[in-house]
Amino acid sequence: MSTFLIMIILIGVFLYISKGYKKYTTNYEEQFKNFSVSKEAIERSELGIFIALVAKVAKADGKVDALEAELVGNMFSDISRVFPEPEKTRDIFKQIFSEQKDITDNIESLAHALNRMILRDQQKQMQMLGFLIQLAFVDGEVSKSEEQILILVAEAFQIDPQIYHHIFDQFESISKNHSPQTTLKDAYAILGINENDSLETIKKAYRKLVREYHPDIIKAQGKDENYLKEATVKTQEINSAYEMIKKSHTDNL
């Protein structure tokens, strides 16, 4: 398949996503407003299965790092608020994540189960795959095990391999070309803090910014593909600044 043809297909996909949003996408708030919240019911729901796949990607390289944990925690808050009992739902999402992150033999079956639920909604397919790719790239590089999971999900979603690789390559290019090269002074400015602030104050500022700029899967409905890319760049910038400042404080002890 030629590069030109891939670009035509991608343009078509994203036009479909943006123009067909109202016709093909069920609003999550409407979909779950009368949902009976229980662990069993949420585990069988599309968002519960999605959280299970998020857990696989987050733990694929052997650990869930601090930024991944922060992003996943924000995602729990985003998604749980569309359910009748947000706090209870959030706790259940945490349980699902904790249970699923170390299970590796059900990835393909979960991806196929999710696809059966959203098969006619390409906007959701691309959005969920995009979030998984974004999570894999958020620490700056993607491990082999993370990439294998992403490929399994793309195959289960019946996404053309060349389209998947084009999207993956775009995130990889963003990650390489936007690696933040900041001075310590710039890092303080990015977090909106000063050199005399305590580590606790710095951490609060960091978490607030990550919460502000992380990609919200609920609000992302109907937005174009640049939403995730911009969120990835900004999140990496914030995390790089935070790590630089933390190192500086540690070195000065």
pLDDT band at 204 (very low <50, low <70, confident <90, very high): very high
Give per-residue pLDDT as tens, 102-156. 999 999 999 999 999 998 788 888 888 988 988 888 777 889 999 999 999 999 9
Residue 115 burial by Cβ neighbours in a 10 Å radius (0-12, 13-18, 19+)? buried
Query: Alpha-carbon Rg of the chain, whole angstroms?
Result: 19
In contact, 107 and 152? CB cutoff 8 Å: yes
Q: What are the structural domains, with CATH classification, of the chain?
A: 3-177 (no CATH), 184-251 (1.10.287.110)
| 130 closest CA partner among 221, 65, 52 | 221
pLDDT band at 6 (very low <50, low <70, confident <90, very high): very low
Residue with tokens 């404080």: 249
DSSP assigned state of 20: S
Residue with tokens 């585990």: 43
| 131 closest CA partner among 144, 113, 114, 116 | 114
pTM: 0.79
In contact, 60 and 146? CB cutoff 8 Å: yes
DSSP code per residue over 111-170: HHHHHHHHTT-HHHHHHHHHHHHHHHHTTS---HHHHHHHHHHHHHTT--HHHHHHHHHH
